[in-house]
Amino acid sequence: MDYKKNYEEWLQNPYFDEATKKELESIRENENEIKERFYMDLEFGTAGLRGIIGAGTNRMNVYTVRKATQGLANYICKQGMEEKGVAIAYDSRRMSTEFAEEAALCLAANGIKAYIFETLRPTPELSFAVRELHCAAGINITASHNPPEYNGYKVYWEDGAQITPPHDSGIMSEVKAVTDYSTVKTMTVEQAKEKGLYQVIGTEIDDKYMEELKKQVIHWDSIKEVGKELKIVYTPLHGTGNLPVRRILKEIGFEQVYVVPQQELPDGEFPTVSYPNPEAEEAFQLGLSLAKEKDADLVLATDPDADRLGVYVKDTRSGQYIPLTGNMSGCLLADYEIGQRKEKNGSVPSDGALIKTIVTSNMAAAIAKYYGVQLIEVLTGFKFIGQKILGFEQSGKGEYLFGFEESYGCLIGTHARDKDAIVATMALCEAAAYYKTKGMTLWDAMIELYERYGYYKDGVKAIGLSGIEGLEKIQAIMSTLRENTPKEVAGYKVLAARDYKLDTIKNLTTGEVTATGLPNSNVLYYELSDQAWLCVRPSGTEPKIKFYFGIVGESLEDADKKAADFSNAIQEMVDQLM
């Protein structure tokens, strides 16, 4: 794209407003900034559009939001689904309400009814609402846990999952086809309301969503027994989790829930953290100090759109709070959900499935084997787990038991088709109550998992590389690795190298090449000796390259050491590649 030409076009075209033009005038002398903003259109990644807020084609602003919505509207109309409407939610970020309103008005102007939440709601509730309201699609204005300068646009299809093939490419090409911003349709709220194409969704969906969550409780008895005693510290990190998390915990019987006061209210500036991500240690600082004050059993944090849940658990022996990675909490919940359902019903469905992404812990495979259920692996992105649930429904074969990702995302039940931190909070507190009745903490339960399944330790190192330069660097690293398969990684022998882009798995001992069985994606994966592995891929939501790895130790200490050594080796590898 000719970035200079685009820049001038935005300045000259009467369609763009004065504030936009003023912002663009202010960067006239900054060639690089003009390039960053106009060298491309914002593109769909792992979870829809995500970008920095500002004027430009490669930025999140009312124009790019309208363009995306016009493309979506065109696609819906071509599918003949315009009668079904679209559900819209938004989080606490800068511009979230404005973008949601713009999306609603664009849909309405295209004759598609917009159901828009009255105030902010979590991602999983939007996913639930799409199916509940029988919509054609859904939109959530959120950039999840990204820093405050970002916003984003998650798109859902009628099954309540984020878009996957064929709808994703179909929608993307419709969005691309909107080349003239001024052809995008819109109308006023009054006009839209008058035509019956703008409906505000209130608490009725909240109530139904809460009822669905409660159906997932297995051990009401345990909550009844110890729910009053369990002390839970919770932070919504200034996002959408506050009300639904408090409500579900209260309604099922947990009475001692302490919300971190400084982080309770929605605030798109996220003033107490630089990065509102439960994966970051910083996100737990205030929660941990409140936990010490209250002597809490658990410290929980949800990300701003409340689809990720981070956890610290108290180890009563050492008195320390121990962080659980997304892999650990995911395995704890997978084992609890499948194990306790089996206990309760006497068996698990023979076609039951535990689903994880390729970068998620292999402990999941051991859990699936133990319970005699199938393990399904998908590419990164919870949308691919959602896609499997739809597949089970359509084929009548297979039953969803549990799905999770390493990045703190899981789903219990099928009420939503995206990761759900509200139901995860509920289930984790329930599991804590259950283990408490057995005289155990969640950490004790985790130790039991290690003893039963093996000492799996997994980690991820994400290297931030922003802007055009960063993107080029990321591509160069991927090419270098693609062209030079390492023989050894972190002292482990490379047994096989998978290239998901080329759809190949090469056995390095025999030279045999087989297919991956998954759609093409820019991902490299090394199967290593001693059950270790390394996977490298560019993030599809942030300007980062991610190195995921896993090892299996002989004991917890051994696993910790092996994981630390592996992490150091990755750092050396990164230093060499840079």
Binding residues for ligand G16, rule: CB under 6 A, are 46-47, 144-145, 303, 307-308, 380-382, 405, 407, 409, 539-542, 546
Burial of 326 (C-beta count, 10 Å sphere; 0-12/13-18/19+): buried
Shortest distance (Å) from residue 305 CB to Mg ion: 4
Write phi, then psi, for 240 (nearest 5 degrees). Answer: -90, -5
Shortest distance (Å) from residue 54 CB to Mg ion: 22
- The Cα 575–Cα 578 span in angstroms is 5
End-to-end CA distance of the chain: 27
* Residue 541 binding result from ligand G16, Mg ion, none, given CB thresholds of 5 to 8 Å by partner type: ligand G16
Q: Give strand pairing partners of 50.
A: 152
Contact 420, 434 (CB under 8 A): no
Shortest distance (Å) from residue 419 CB to ligand G16: 7
Shortest distance (Å) from residue 538 CB to ligand G16: 8
Contact 332, 431 (CB under 8 A): yes
Smallest Cα–Cα separation from 463: which of 450, 451, 476?
Answer: 476
- The Cα 353–Cα 350 span in angstroms is 9
Write phi, then psi, for 7 (nearest 5 degrees). Answer: -60, -50
Q: Which two tokens stand for residue 345?
A: 């019903």
* Residue 430 binding result from ligand G16, Mg ion, none, given CB thresholds of 5 to 8 Å by partner type: none
The neighbour count for residue 281, using CB atoms within 10 Å, is: 12
* Residue 382 binding result from Mg ion, ligand G16, none, given CB thresholds of 5 to 8 Å by partner type: ligand G16
- The Cα 167–Cα 156 span in angstroms is 10
* Residue 458 binding result from Mg ion, ligand G16, none, given CB thresholds of 5 to 8 Å by partner type: none
Smallest Cα–Cα separation from 326: which of 344, 294, 302, 304?
Answer: 302
Helix, coil or strand: residue 357 = strand
Helix, coil or strand: residue 526 = strand
Shortest distance (Å) from residue 500 CB to ligand G16: 13
- Residue 305 or 335: the one with the smaller Cβ distance to Mg ion is 305
Size of the site for Mg ion (CB under 5 A): 5
Contact 413, 341 (CB under 8 A): no
Contact 420, 412 (CB under 8 A): yes
**DSSP result, 256-285:** EEEE-GGG-S--TT-TT-SS--TTSGGGGH
- Residue 337 or 418: the one with the smaller Cβ distance to ligand G16 is 418
Write phi, then psi, for 460 (nearest 5 degrees). Answer: -145, 140
Contact 398, 443 (CB under 8 A): no
- Residue 186 or 541: the one with the smaller Cβ distance to ligand G16 is 541
Residue 406 engages Mg ion in binding (rule: CB under 5 A): no
What is the dihedral sign for C-alpha 364, 365, 366, 371?
positive
The mark string for 267-306 relative to Mg ion (x by CB under 5 A, - otherwise) is: ------------------------------------x-x-
Shortest distance (Å) from residue 148 CB to Mg ion: 14
DSSP letter (8 states) at residue 402: E
- Residue 186 or 407: the one with the smaller Cβ distance to ligand G16 is 407
Catalytic residue among 127, 144, 361, 539: 144
Q: Is 144 an active-site residue?
A: yes
Q: Which two tokens stand for residue 319?
A: 């008195």
**DSSP result, 73-139:** HHHHHHTT-GGG-EEEEE-SSTTHHHHHHHHHHHHHHTT--EEEESS---HHHHHHHHHHTT-SEEE
Shortest distance (Å) from residue 127 CB to ligand G16: 11
Shortest distance (Å) from residue 38 CB to ligand G16: 24
Residue 307 engages Mg ion in binding (rule: CB under 5 A): yes
Smallest Cα–Cα separation from 333: which of 223, 431, 422, 415?
Answer: 431
Sheet strands (E) in 359-503:
374-378, 399-405, 409-411, 455-464, 488-489, 492-499
Considering only residues 112 through 171, tell me which ones interact with Mg ion, judged by CB under 5 A. 144
Burial of 454 (C-beta count, 10 Å sphere; 0-12/13-18/19+): middle
Shortest distance (Å) from residue 521 CB to ligand G16: 10
DSSP letter (8 states) at residue 307: -
Shortest distance (Å) from residue 478 CB to ligand G16: 14
* Residue 297 binding result from ligand G16, Mg ion, none, given CB thresholds of 5 to 8 Å by partner type: none
- Residue 140 or 222: the one with the smaller Cβ distance to Mg ion is 140
* Residue 542 binding result from ligand G16, Mg ion, none, given CB thresholds of 5 to 8 Å by partner type: ligand G16
- Residue 253 or 409: the one with the smaller Cβ distance to ligand G16 is 409
Q: Enumerate binding residues for Mg ion (CB under 5 A).
A: 144, 303, 305, 307-308
Catalytic residues: 144
